Amino acid sequence: MEKPFSRGPLGIKHRYWVLLFIVLNIIGVILVKPVQPHIQVAPENVSKTPLSIPGIGDIYLTNTLIMLVLVMLVIIGMAWAVKQSLRGGSLVTKGVAALMETAVEALYNLTESSAGKYARMVFPWFATIVIFVLVGNLMKLTPIVETFGFLHEAHEGGHPRVELWSGAYSILPGEVEEGQTGYLVTPFLRGLPTDLNFTVALALISVLMTQVIGVRAQGAKYFLKFFNVTNLFKKPFFGAMDFLVGLLELISELSKVLSFSFRLFGNMFAGAVLLFLVGSLIPVFMQSFIVLFEVFVGAIQAFVFGMLTMVFMAQATRGHGGEHAEEAH
- Cα 115 to Cα 145: distance, rounded to the nearest angstrom: 38
Confidence (pTM) = 0.79
pLDDT tens-digit profile of 84-132? 877 766 666 777 778 888 888 999 999 999 888 899 999 999 999 999 9
Instruction: Give the residue extent of every domain in the chain.
Output: 12-42+95-143+190-316
* Residue % of the chain over a pLDDT of 90: 19
User: 181: burial class by Cβ within 10 Å (0-12, 13-18, 19+)?
Assistant: exposed
pLDDT at 129: 93
Q: How far is C-alpha 250 from the geometric centre of its chain's CA atoms?
A: 26
Contact 107, 123 (CB under 8 A): yes
pLDDT at 285: 56
Burial 184-196 (b: 16+ CB within 10 A, else e): bbebbbbbbbbbb
Beta bridge partners of 48: none
Name the pLDDT band for 329 (thresholds 50, 70, 90). very low
